[in-house]
Structure 1
């Protein structure tokens, strides 16, 4: 379980394909605090630490994860939003994030708005995921509030802190992002579609 409050950025050091899997090595300031078998959200994707060496650690993504996320686009040098799993008893500062990405979205607009930034994302509506205005959405692991909501798109507003300390600052039109829709909204949507 995660909150969508990013702890730090990591940098991809190696991407190694093995059959349908990808092994990704990340350089991070939190590596020294990690242990083998620990869950870490990478741009919102929950992955297990499988190796640690010096200031880098490695995670493995299987084919199913690669199909639903932007991991297949990662290259050496890319920055990655990182968050360790929440501890029981901690405050829930973002919203409930499972680290189970629902689908990929595409950035279709970036606008600087006098001290903040507005980003608009499109997604495939055939998967029946939904957003609502003032509802929660996770973009690359960042817990956000939806500003505007359409059938297959939504926008969010980013404060300067989030812009500086996440990989949002690297987004341009066409950037592929991981989307995890609000878990409560998913359950409600499923209940209504089964009637």
Structure 2
């Protein structure tokens, strides 16, 4: 008996991965992700970076992003570490993590030294610019959410649309009913895992 995991129909023909990136390539890519992620949107910029280089498919990124969301800690750093580990092992994870953290560390050190010591904190012009960047970051995040939701929405257990059901129930539980996050995740992630568990394929 063999075990297979069904893929959403439109994702079965995803193009094959290109040659795995080197450690310096991963570090440079995630430095670029961090520099582009002003105001947020790190997962969206990560998705664009790995898909444009052919390092991961949309389905692979959605799976990695889900694991990063469920892991304690900053989601952007978790995602960088997991992508790096998937593409380059331990060295890849280290390079990606260092790459994603370095620009922010330098920027925050500079801000602390130059601005936060001023009377009244940040100048009003800079505060307004940061609020504008936050609005732009929301739009960037939406470009990433759509493809990830599409992947999850099309997960099926036999003929049952388990992905659509779990997605809708999670939105209602957290967004409408505002239930606690942890119990919702335990129940719905558990239900999704049980419904979509690998099943033996009968040989004809």
Q: Normalising to structure 2: TM-score of the pair?
A: 0.23
User: Relative contact order (alpha carbons < 8 A, sep ≥ 6): 1 or 2 greater?
Assistant: 2
The structure in which a higher percent of residues are helix is 2
The structure in which a higher percent of residues are strand is 1
Give the structure with higher Rg (CA).
Answer: 2
